[in-house]
Structure 1
Amino acid sequence: MATSEQDKNSSQEFWLQAAVTYSYILLWIFLSAVVIMVNKYVLTFAGFPFPIALTLTHMAFCSTLAFLIIKAGFVETVHMDSATYFRNVVPIAALFSGTLWLGNAAYLYLSVAFIQMLKATMPVTVFLVGVMLGTEKYSALYALNMVVVAIGVATASYGELNFDLIGVIFQSGSIVTESFRLCLIQLLLQARGIKLNPVTTLYYIAPACFAFLCFPFTFIELPKMMHSDGGWRLPGGWLMLSAVSAFALNMSVFLLIGRSSALTMNIAGVIKDWLLIALSVTLYGSPVGSLQLGGYGVAFLGVCWYNYQKLQGARQQTTTRQQPGDLESKPLLASTAPRR
């Protein structure tokens, strides 16, 4: 009888934890969609075509809130001396600034749907940059995957009905800077044993990003804002919603990363991409042709196969170092999983 009761309680606990985990996943997908769709609206439809100013708003808000959260003692931070900060964090912040600026600038020229399709090239650039910097090992099978993804994205680009070269250049620049940022994080932070959660990351990186973005803002966007003769307006409510959503998105990552596996997050990312394409078509009337969808489908399959191979490789490495177990059933950061 006691065993039956224990099994019942164990089953209830399992379903409760599963419900919480998938609620976090849905929250992450929802907030990701909100941030992207709101940014697109602010820059394209709300009369505020200033991507650097939008990014500055995000960084100022995130810096302030992260500072208050850490000083209030809600989240523990990592002590970092000035030498470590300037050597490790500042280069990452510079690249992150470029990622956000160029990525937001692309919304002025391209649809959300096409931007999501271009983002499928992220594994390609991360792989190439990783091989160049030594964080990835070259593999003919991985390289073949990258070729498949590149062909798919090239086909989607050829089928794009509102293709704009400037927008593609901006988005490509954002992908390249993000790839270098991810590799530098692995080289500069993980190699030195520095562990940063999303709040601490914002605490250290957001102020530096704000400082970096002030330079292009001063010389590129500020003169336009001052001499546009009322050609733009300040959508205060939308800017605040965008900033709050961006911060909440980082917090949702903090909640999610301790409870889900790498495979779960990759699947959730795929669902998010397709959702954003659908929202772009539904809300903003973005034209998407059959050739474009076919090309993105090829790239999507290539990315899925690449992720599967990476996860299999990670599982084999973990199995050789630790006791056998199913890597996909374990959280990404078990130590940060909320205790309930």
Structure 2
Amino acid sequence: MSAITESRFYTVGLVLAWYSSNIGVLLLNKYLLSNYGFKYPIFLTMCHMIACSLLSYVAVVWMELVPMQMIRSQNQFFKICVLSFVFCASVVSGNISLKYLPVSFNQAIGATTPFFTAVFAYLITMNTEALLVYATLIPVVTGVIIASGGEPSFHLFGFIMCVGATAARALKTVLQGVLLSSEGEKLNSMNLLLYMAPVAVVLLLPVTIYMEGNVVGITLALSQVDFRIVWYLLFNSALAYFVNLANFMVTKHTSALTLQVLGNAKGAVAVVVSILIFKNPVSVIGMLGYALTVFGVILYSEAKKRSK
């Protein structure tokens, strides 16, 4: 087998691992929060962050999968804390939305990330795009409006949470580019996660205690009745870390643009798989709306590439 063939097999394997972990954690979150009835999205997010803290340390410090990058100043640490807060808001809001919305509609809203990225890029950095780039955002937003109108399981609070999660995800991307833009402060995604995850745990702990009460005691009591909950949480939390690891590895071995294209396809795959598993009702109008959004995202990616 040639080196080129081996490289292609390796890349395909990475992409499959990224798809599997990404879609897997999404579906398992939905199952736990909605179907299983584990109604503690903040605690679930904290479990994810604890796993990310521990496994990031193992991967970066012990296994040395990537060179460790040290924090150089208090100012840099403050910037990481800001990013961690926005990251927490994104993940918690996304998990809360899964209590109320089907995965298919959740993914349709999540596809509008480019719209929020463009808005925040303009508001924060005054960075403007070519008119064609902005024009491609029209079908992105229009598609979600159509999908919302045709969604049989529409829930206003879940919708607001999902939009908030999408906006926070875009905000983190823009802030990361601004706050960690100097050569001395840039961190690769694995090192950034190594520092952000423990900060996220510290931020989420008091919120979990205040908002979700004796969730640890409730979980332990539940494990006495159904021990599967322990395995669900452990596997789900580990999977949340491997999403980030696979994302980093795919980006490293392909490109950011390829990752964007693959991400669009991943959303469509997640929609199909979730409908097959959870059998949530869908409408023709809803699916046409989602298809329009994905088409808009593809046009957006192409317009961005040509404008550079």
Q: What CA distance in whole angstroms lies between the structure 2 residues aligned with 1:65 and 1:263?
A: 27
Tell me which of 27, 37, 46 is aligned to 1:56.
46
Q: Deviations over 1:255-299 (max 9, x none)?
A: 211111333222211221111111111100111110011111111
Partners of 2:37 and 2:139 lie apart in 1 by 39
Paired with 2:295 and 2:161, the residues of 1 have a C-alpha distance of 25
In structure 2, stretches of 5+ residues that fail to align are none
Which of residues 4, 7, 19 is equivalent to 1:29? 19
2:236 to 220, 223, 242: 242
Cα distance, 1:238 vs structure 2:
0.5
- The 5 A counterparts of 1:69-218 are 69-72=59-62, 74=64, 75-134=66-125, 136-218=127-209
The answer to whether the Cα contact below 8 Å between 1:135 and 1:183 also exists between their aligned partners in 2 is no
Report the count of equivalent residues.
303
Conservation of the 8 A alpha-carbon contact between 2:60 and 2:67 = yes
Using a 3 Å threshold, how does the CA distance of structure 1 residues 69 and 226 change in structure 2: closer, same or farther?
Answer: closer
The runs of 5 or more residues in structure 1 that have no matched partner are 1-8, 315-340
Deviation readout 1:83-116 (Å, 9 max, x if unpaired): 1343310100000000010000001000000000
Mark the CA change 1:26 to 1:284 in structure 2 (over 3 Å): closer, same or farther. same
Question: Are 2:274 and 1:280 equivalent residues in the alignment?
Answer: yes
Task: Indicate the residue corresponding to 2:289 in structure 1.
Answer: 295
TM-score by length of 1: 0.83
Opposite residue 81 of structure 2, the aligned amino acid is V
Change in 2 beyond 3 A, CA 1:138/1:258: closer
Distance 1:194 1:58 in 2: 26
Percent identity over the alignment is 26
Q: Which amino acid aligns with 1:255?
A: M
Greater displacement, 68-77 / 14-23: 68-77
Query: 3-state SS of the aligned residue for 2:39?
Result: coil
**Which residue matches 1:15?**
5
Report deviation, 1:226: 6.6
Compute the displacement of 1:27 (Å).
1.3
> Structure 1: how far apart are the matches of 2:133 and 2:245?
32
Q: Structure 1 residue aligned with 2:57, among 61, 67, 73?
A: 67
Structure 2 length normalisation: TM-score? Answer: 0.91
Decide whether the 8 Å contact of 1:198 with 1:253 is kept in 2.
Answer: no
Change (3 A) 1:184 1:163: same
| RMSD of aligned residue pairs (Cα, Å) | 2.2
Structure 1 residue 227 displacement after superposition: 8.7
Equivalent position amino acid for 1:304 in 2: I
Contact 1:156-1:292 at 8 Å conserved across structures: yes
Task: Tell me the SS of whatever aligns to 1:258.
Answer: helix
Aligned AA (1:23): G
Which of the pair has the greater relative contact order for Cα pairs under 8 Å at 6+ separation? 2
Match of 1:253 among 247, 257, 266: 247
Q: Which residue matches 1:263?
A: 257
Q: Contact conserved, 1:110 with 1:167, CA < 8 A, in 2?
A: yes
Q: Is contact 2:130–2:307 with CA below 8 Å preserved after alignment?
A: no
| Residue 307 (structure 2) aligns with | 313
- Quote the Cα distance in structure 1 between the aligned partners of 2:102 and 2:289: 16
- Kept after mapping to 2: 8 A contact 1:63/1:206: yes
Higher CA-based Rg: 1
CA distance in 2, matches of 1:154, 1:292: 9
**Letter of the structure 2 residue corresponding to residue 285 of structure 1:** K
The CA deviation string for residues 128-174 of structure 1, in whole angstroms up to 9 with x for no partner, is 01111116314322222112211111001100001000000111111
Match of 2:30 among 29, 32, 40: 40
Secondary structure at the counterpart of residue 108 of structure 1: helix
Aligned in 2, Cα 1:260/1:267: closer, same or farther, shift over 3 Å?
same
Q: In 2 relative to 1, CA 46–172 (structure 1 residues): closer, same or farther, beyond 3 Å?
A: same
Instruction: Give the 3 Å change call, closer, same or farther, for CA 71–300 of structure 1 in structure 2.
Output: closer
